[in-house]
Structure 1
């Protein structure tokens, strides 16, 4: 018959069973830990960029590259075909208004001025000669008129006497008719002399007026040449910086060729360039943020240039502080054009993990594990992004490049 086992034996067996189960459980945990190490790699938190989701305001911006240019810039060109005679200034020099920059060869203009002055003098002499001629003719005609008036007076007296004698039969009818005709002849001659004075005056006055007109034309040409002569002394149109200069003495110049450029020093704007992909989003008057280093200047879009070159559109930006100390000619700056603004929305710092708008897979860190989560990304200003859905305020996101973990659903973040 069976006998009851010793309690010590039963207890020993139980201890062995527990030990075996404990060893099996430990082996299972170790295997799970090893598999987890392989399947879910660990990343040092210090090697990641982690941003915390917060509530705030954001402006959606379009990024563009910009260059600072003067608001006021004037180009000085050669007035004639000539060459550079002497250079008085240096490129990059600050100049005063009216300061002499270049001297151009002016010999052809000086010869032209001398010739025009001679022609003006000739017309003045012609006017004087015609005036004297007109006065002389007038005096001659007036003398003839005085003699004719005496003749007319004498013939009228004779006619009166013949008329009286005819009544008494003292003269023939033929003599009376002759006396009457002599009076009429003298009257006609006198009238012709008066008309000749007027005709001579009109003819001579016409000649004088033509000479005066020609003189005025020559004087205008002379004035134009004198202005060209003054322009051969190339001077600064206003106080500023000489940003371009043809400094080669003896260099040949065509009419209208650029010889100097003067730019204002204390008044600037920005010329921005960006892809024509954004052309439909641009409008005059949009707010603009111009940044260079840690300095940010506000402005607005002044003009959108209509021409598109090489897939780029250009626009001009006026600044609220056009005389800021940071600004200088040809300085390259970053331009952010604000297309919309949002308030009290979820934000996170911008990083390589974000790629434009729309749904994106971003790792959200909770309890030491970063799990891939689909977030809906909205506006961006280049420094922060708007998160429309997928997280809540206080969540932490990995915003650094996580492309090497794109096939993982989670990664452990070691603190």
Structure 2
């Protein structure tokens, strides 16, 4: 006959079974948690960059590619077709105003100068000869006029005597008429001689004026050739750096061809190029940050060039310190043009996780896990980006490249 179990034993066995069940459940949960840790994607903390949301000032900027150029630069061109006779300088050399850089073959110019001087001398001789001929002819005509005036006086005196004698019947009518005609003939001859003097003066004056005009033309041509002769010795227009120079002696050069370029030392500006998509945002006076080897050089937009070429717009930037020793002619720099400035807004460090403005996916870091969320971003200046919506101060976000886990909802961060 079976006996009933001791109630204490029954309770003890029940407690053991419950304890075993609880331990088994805990082990199962622990195993699942460990398995989840093994299977969940992770990223090392050293492989990412995390930034904390905070308040700060941020500038909206537009990036552009820039080239350092001199503020003042002059080009020296060939005055005429010639050849290089001597080269007296080299590119990269510092020169002073008036220093001869090279000499051109000036034999043809010298010949042209000599020819023009001879032609000018001929014209001067022609003018002097015309004046002398006018004086001689004037003297001859003046002498003839004096004689005609005497003849006219004599004819008038004879005519008056005949008129008195005619009253007494001592002179015939024919003789009286002949005397009157002699007076008229002398008056006509005298008037013709006087008109001949005026005509001679006008003709000679016109001849002298034509010769003088030709003389002036020759003087201008001579002055032009003399300038070319002086320019055959190519000199520096001002003190600066010789950046370009034709260096081959004997080389042929055409009229107007570039021979040398001189740039002002320690006075630079930046020529920036960017997409015409941003043209509406640009205006003179905007602040600019020029970056070179980690150093920021402040400046301002001086001019936005109106012409758009190949989908790009250019602008000139004046630097606050145009004589910065870091600057070199034709050096490439990064240019950030400030189009707007905001103060006391939420910001994050800029990074490859973000691309422009608007709604963007981001990973918020909480207790060693990065969870996917969405942030509304505003403008940035390349170092900071504005957080318009979706985050609070103190929250942490991955700002480095997240392409490797961009399709995941969460990722574990390991030490």
* Fold equivalence (TM over 0.5): yes
CA–CA distance in structure 2, aligned partners of residues 408 and 148 of structure 1: 129
CA–CA distance in structure 1, aligned partners of residues 43 and 176 of structure 2: 149
Q: Deviations over 1:183-205 (max 9, x none)?
A: 22222222222111111111112
Q: Deviations over 1:124-165 (max 9, x none)?
A: 111111111111111111111122222222222222322222
C-alpha change, 1:171 and 1:272, in structure 2 (3 Å) is same
Q: Deviations over 1:206-244 (max 9, x none)?
A: 111111111111111111111111121111111111111
CA–CA distance in structure 1, aligned partners of residues 4 and 192 of structure 2: 181
Find out whether 1:47 has 2:16 as its counterpart. no
- Provide the residue aligned with 1:398 in structure 2: 398
- Provide the residue aligned with 2:179 in structure 1: 179
The alpha carbon displacement at 1:11 in A equals 6.1
Q: Secondary structure at the match of 2:146?
A: helix
- Provide the residue aligned with 1:131 in structure 2: 131
Q: Equivalent residues in 2 for 1:202-221 (5 A)? A: 202-221=202-221
Q: Deviations over 1:45-65 (max 9, x none)?
A: 233211111111111111111
- Provide the residue aligned with 1:408 in structure 2: 408
Q: Equivalent residues in 2 for 1:39-188 (5 A)? A: 39-188=39-188
CA–CA distance in structure 2, aligned partners of residues 352 and 411 of structure 1: 18
- Provide the residue aligned with 1:16 in structure 2: 16
- Provide the residue aligned with 2:326 in structure 1: 326
- Provide the residue aligned with 2:302 in structure 1: 302
The alpha carbon displacement at 1:346 in A equals 0.7
CA–CA distance in structure 1, aligned partners of residues 122 and 272 of structure 2: 60
CA–CA distance in structure 2, aligned partners of residues 190 and 54 of structure 1: 114
CA–CA distance in structure 2, aligned partners of residues 196 and 217 of structure 1: 31
TM-score by length of 1: 0.93
CA–CA distance in structure 1, aligned partners of residues 163 and 279 of structure 2: 110
CA–CA distance in structure 2, aligned partners of residues 130 and 405 of structure 1: 102
Count of aligned pairs between the two proteins: 415
Q: Secondary structure at the match of 1:290?
A: strand
Of 8-17 and 289-298, the range deviating more from structure 2: 8-17
- Provide the residue aligned with 2:232 in structure 1: 232
CA–CA distance in structure 2, aligned partners of residues 84 and 157 of structure 1: 85
- CA RMSD in angstroms comes to 2.1
CA–CA distance in structure 2, aligned partners of residues 90 and 234 of structure 1: 13
Q: Deviations over 1:280-306 (max 9, x none)?
A: 433444332111123222233333334
Q: Equivalent residues in 2 for 1:334-353 (5 A)? A: 334-353=334-353
CA–CA distance in structure 2, aligned partners of residues 88 and 318 of structure 1: 34
- Provide the residue aligned with 2:290 in structure 1: 290
The alpha carbon displacement at 1:19 in A equals 4.3
Q: Secondary structure at the match of 1:16?
A: helix
C-alpha change, 1:330 and 1:185, in structure 2 (3 Å) is same
The alpha carbon displacement at 1:312 in A equals 3.3
Alignment gaps of 5+ in structure 1: none
The alpha carbon displacement at 1:5 in A equals 3.5
Q: Secondary structure at the match of 1:157?
A: helix
Of 170-179 and 138-147, the range deviating more from structure 2: 170-179
- Provide the residue aligned with 1:370 in structure 2: 370
Of 389-398 and 158-167, the range deviating more from structure 2: 158-167
